[in-house]
Structure 1
Amino acid sequence: MGIPTEPIGSIPRSPELLAALQAHAQGRIDDAELAASTDQAVAATISRLEELGSPVVTDGEQAKPSFATYPISGLPDLAPDGAVIPFADGHTRQLPRLTGGPFRYTVQAARYLETARRYAKVPVKQAVIAPSALSLLYPAGGIDGYPRETFLDDLADQAEADIRGCLDGGAHMVQLDFTEGRLALKLDPSGGVLDDFVALNNRVLERFSGGERARIGVHTCPGGDQDSTHSLDVDYAGLLPRLFQLRAGAFYLQLAGEPDPEKVLAVVAEHAPPDVRIFVGVVDPVDPVVETPEQVRDRVLTAARHLPADRLGTCDDCGFSPFADDTSTSRDLAFAKIRARVEGTAMAARDLGL
């Protein structure tokens, strides 16, 4: 049986794709040429993951402008001055601000899945953005003629369609990226914002059957961009009990970068539902040092002391390049860490007799 291991999503874009993106922005190549370069990057990423023995692959998010903003690429009702997310190293990312409705996705993730499945020989996982993240697009001052509740209704419908399209398109798993969960506690230590996020995400998840939710997972981490995080200083224990209220079949938890993993595992063991699979992060994309397979094995064995081995999985802590312009981690470094995760997980499974 072994222990399942999966990537979280993004892989640093290939140098050729980065050059094509720049050329497209400067008007030196057209949309068709950019699409061809993107397809080549997807094919190369999947091929490399399969060569490493990854039993599940992603497209590396090569075609996404970012893990968060792919559904609104080209949406006309946006202004650039939305919510600002500060990172520990001082850099920021800014979301756009919605200026009108109705809110509609311009791109659904099933498009990426369809391309990836053309190249993959193993199951393909598809990451989608959680609706709670996109709720941050709506301005605090409201929008004339488009109330917040109407926006949330539209957002829930669009998020459901995004997930359902991936399930119907043959995704092995659909992963909701919920990196704003821990950030919510930084913005509002009372937990009110986090409770609103959980309620909105459940509003969508509850539209799926139990069998469908078994193929839907939730990923959480303290952010990961340009080798920095936005909420690692927030106590994980404040997030996890609420996180496990989400109606999902799996959870992908950042753990390798935690200062006290055993403390986190104890909280997970106490609060995780008994019928879900817990994927623990065993490699840290923010750390430039490549983990050894032995280190990964030991991290898995530590997790197995707290969680049932038959409900355990492994993953990366977060994506290696969630924003297309993040080149802080090289592709070779990302693939070296993934190799360590795959090999170390297999070593742990053997030690556990799985």
Structure 2
Amino acid sequence: MELAARQAEAVADTITHLEGTGSPVLVDGEQSKPSFATYPIAGLAGLSPGGAVIPFADGHTRQLPCLTSGPFRYATRAERYLRQARGHTGLPVKQAVIAPSALSLLYPADGIDGYPRKAFLDDLVDEAEADIRGCLEAGAHAVQLDFTEGRLSLKLDPSGGLLDDFVELNNRVLERFGQEERARIGVHTCPGGDLDSTHSLDVDYAGLLPALFRLRAGNFYVQLAGEPDQERVLSLIGDALRPGVRVFVGVTDPIDPRVETAEQVRDRVLAAARHIPVDQLGTCDDCGFSPFADDTSTSRETAFAKITARVRGTALAAQALGL
């Protein structure tokens, strides 16, 4: 009960601070989630330790649990977090959900007796659809699928076969939504920022972006500020971009302790506008503020300062572009 009370306080505090930045769309900061990836399985029976290991460049790892029995069902849906956040604000709220491709890693390589992988994936697709649909029906401004495993998949399988499998699985879910619904659904990609390190920054975006834009979503949130060659990535985005979707490019880097200025953000937006049509362009933060809830390397003050810079810098860019 004490933990729940502290989490509720943190959500309210986050909403208040985000409103103070001037952001037109808010999030709950995932203050109540055990992690961005594992909220659907928190407290779920039929799990054991020893699942897929995610190695980071600094040597630390994160490990998923392993499914031991079926049928697979979400124990918690993201709609719960959305409703709590919306209770603290009248502004639009975007809700993050985990992509089904990430949860597909829960299934063990040696299988589960009486529960074949095909049956698991069918259940997973149903559960992921319900997770997204619940958020849309609860009034989410947008629903963001966290797809950090997309870029990582190219490290695990440079042939791109695993990435193709991930895209196909995610599209099985996205195809269940109509065009107007998909306009409110987006996909986030990044190199997995955590504890000031990443798991796949060394993987070339050129291998990911064409496959990423095959996903049948209306929005894409692309980590960019932490990239060593942002101009090249923007060129790749421009080449792969299809009509009718919007790309939110990362203009602040949570891993970098320096707080960006509004002018730096403005210049990053203007650089993006040379490759992406303005009516298809938006801004976001890169990933990595605290995705697993135990990363204290970036203070809340720094996080909100970066978000404020993003909002102000985006407004400066809009003025420069005559919007």
Q: Give the TM-score, by structure 1 length.
A: 0.91
Matched, 1:33 2:33: no
1:316 is aligned with what amino acid?
A: D
Partner of 1:78: 47
Q: Which whole-Å CA distance do the structure 1 matches of 2:319 and 2:163 have between them?
A: 39
Aligned match of 1:349 in 311, 318, 321? Answer: 318
Q: Which whole-Å CA distance do the structure 2 matches of 1:265 and 1:324 have between them?
A: 30
Matched, 1:130 2:99: yes
Deviation at 1:204, TM superposition (A): 0.2
Partner of 1:23: none
SS at match of 1:314: strand
Aligned match of 1:118 in 87, 93, 103? Answer: 87
Aligned match of 2:159 in 190, 196, 201? Answer: 190
Partner of 1:43: 12
1:273 is aligned with what amino acid?
A: R
Deviation at 1:33, TM superposition (A): 2.5
8 Å CA contact 2:192–2:288 kept in 1: the answer is no
Partner of 1:274: 243
* Identical counterparts, % of pairs: 76
Q: How many residues align?
A: 323
Q: Give the TM-score, by structure 2 length.
A: 0.99
Partner of 1:66: 35
Aligned match of 2:258 in 273, 289, 292? Answer: 289
Partner of 2:26: 57
State the 4+ residue runs in structure 1 displaced beyond 2 angstroms: none
Q: Which whole-Å CA distance do the structure 2 matches of 1:86 and 1:318 have between them?
A: 17
Unaligned runs of 5+ in 2: none
Aligned match of 1:144 in 113, 126, 138? Answer: 113
1:288 is aligned with what amino acid?
A: P
Q: Which whole-Å CA distance do the structure 2 matches of 1:263 and 1:36 have between them?
A: 46
8 Å CA contact 2:97–2:144 kept in 1: the answer is yes
Structure with more relative contact order (C-alpha pairs < 8 Å, separation 6 or more):
1
Aligned match of 1:248 in 217, 221, 227? Answer: 217
Matched, 1:324 2:293: yes
SS at match of 1:44: helix
Deviation at 1:80, TM superposition (A): 1.0
Give the alignment of 1:134-283 within 5 angstroms.
Answer: 134-283=103-252
1:123 is aligned with what amino acid?
A: P
8 Å CA contact 2:196–2:288 kept in 1: the answer is no
1:295 is aligned with what amino acid?
A: Q
Give the alignment of 1:304-323 within 5 angstroms.
Answer: 304-323=273-292
1:156 is aligned with what amino acid?
A: V
Q: Which whole-Å CA distance do the structure 2 matches of 1:154 and 1:78 have between them?
A: 16
2:309 is aligned with what amino acid?
A: A
SS at match of 2:132: helix
Q: Which whole-Å CA distance do the structure 1 matches of 2:266 and 2:8 have between them?
A: 34
Deviation at 1:121, TM superposition (A): 2.4
SS at match of 1:226: coil
SS at match of 1:348: helix
Partner of 2:59: 90
Q: Which whole-Å CA distance do the structure 1 matches of 2:92 and 2:236 have between them?
A: 31
Deviation at 1:319, TM superposition (A): 4.3
Q: Which whole-Å CA distance do the structure 1 matches of 2:89 and 2:62 have between them?
A: 32
Deviation at 1:35, TM superposition (A): 1.6
Instruction: Provide, for residues 269-314 of structure 1, a one-character-per-residue CA deviation record: whole Å limited to 9, x for no partner.
Output: 1111111011000001111111111100000000001111111100
Instruction: Provide, for residues 186-237 of structure 1, a one-character-per-residue CA deviation record: whole Å limited to 9, x for no partner.
Output: 0000000000000000000000000000000000000010000000000000
1:324 is aligned with what amino acid?
A: A
Unaligned runs of 5+ in 1: 1-31
Instruction: Provide, for residues 2-43 of structure 1, a one-character-per-residue CA deviation record: whole Å limited to 9, x for no partner.
Output: xxxxxxxxxxxxxxxxxxxxxxxxxxxxxx222222111100
